[in-house]
Chain A
Amino acid sequence: GENVEQHPSTLSVQEGDSAVIKCTYSDSASNYFPWYKQELGKRPQLIIDIRSNVGEKKDQRIAVTLNKTAKHFSLHITETQPEDSAVYFCAATPFYNFNKFYFGSGTKLNVKP
């Protein structure tokens, strides 16, 4: 099955700086890559996703890039704000079993004011 690794496990940045979280996946059949944000004590919520037919997707301060050849994808947050502090999870899902999301272990982002 698919294996998703996520780095770093914790990330501390100064407010206004950029943050980058990276994930690698093992199954070349994976073609959908969502990112979820989980604030403390709350439910995970989708913040952005990308499908394998594009290499980059942007939504205001967040962007995701995908390198299918290298089998990795990254979340980029620019101009970070304290409210960006949360745990971020990446996931991958293969086309042959697209209901099964394989999540990374999470990155705890701390944005210092």
Chain B
Amino acid sequence: DSGVTQTPKHLITATGQRVTLRCSPRSGDLSVYWYQQSLDQGLQFLIQYYNGEERAKGNILERFSAQQFPDLHSELNLSSLELGDSALYFCASSVAGTSGPNEQFFGPGTRLTVL
């Protein structure tokens, strides 16, 4: 158990809908990262937050948005869902994010299925 929690574990929804994925980082970690892993694909970096502020952005679609709250938990919002958005979404957290790279601890993931 990495200490990173994600909810829900599974999510099944229809095209055009909007969903919210939630992540709680390890205690003390200030950075949260979101990744998308499609079937048999690698990990695609979406976005990173550090202590409430956006710090790095990957190939995140405009239909997707995220935020990190004062208690450091983060939410990833996916809207106008398409079939191709079906994937495993991982959240990861790390200690800091200002002085150099640190190990990222991954959560168990949320499996999103868009029908």
Contacts and interface: CB of A to CB of B under 8 A. Distances in A.
29 contacts: A6-B42, A32-B101, A34-B101, A34-B103, A42-B108, A43-B90, A43-B109, A44-B43, A49-B103, A89-B42, A93-B101, A95-B100, A97-B56, A99-B48, A99-B50, A99-B97, A99-B101, A100-B45, A100-B58, A101-B33, A101-B43, A101-B101, A102-B45, A103-B42, A103-B44, A104-B42, A105-B41, A105-B42, A106-B41
- Which of A34, A36, A97, A100 has its CB near the most chain B CB atoms (within 10 A)? A100
The DSSP consensus for interface residues of chain B is loop
Interface of A: 6, 32, 34, 36, 42-46, 49, 89, 93, 95, 97-106
Contacts of B107: 43
Interface string B14-54: 00000000000000000101000000011111001010000
Interface size band for B: 20 to 34
Interface of B: 2, 31, 33, 41-45, 48, 50, 55-56, 58, 90, 97, 100-101, 103-109
